[in-house]
Amino acid sequence: MGFATSFDPERVDEVLSWLCALRCTVVQFYDWMQRYSAPVPGNGEYTDPLGRPLSRGSLERLVSGVRDLGAVA
């Protein structure tokens, strides 16, 4: 089991490489929401309460990449 907490568009490949190296079969995605009261933002690029850049597109690329690795997101 692995996890992902970085959803920065510029780090997608790095995160997928890390998960591949760990040979993860299940990956949990933590804290990808803009905020709990409105998890999916109106626009695709947003910042979480900790000031981290997030992107719905990068999240979708990560989920797709995890599946391509043969793992479950």
> What is the reported pLDDT for 40?
66
Q: Is residue 59 part of a domain?
A: yes
Query: Whole-prediction pTM value?
Result: 0.78
* CA–CA dist 30, 32 (Å, integer): 6
Q: Is residue 56 part of a domain?
A: yes
> What is the reported pLDDT for 56?
82
Q: Is residue 33 part of a domain?
A: yes
Q: How many domains does the chain have?
A: 1
Q: Is residue 25 part of a domain?
A: yes
User: 6 is in which domain, residue-wise?
Assistant: 2-68
Residue range 15-39, pLDDT digits in tens: 999 999 999 999 998 766 666 666 6
* CA–CA dist 53, 38 (Å, integer): 17
pLDDT surpasses 90 at 5: no
Q: Is residue 73 part of a domain?
A: no
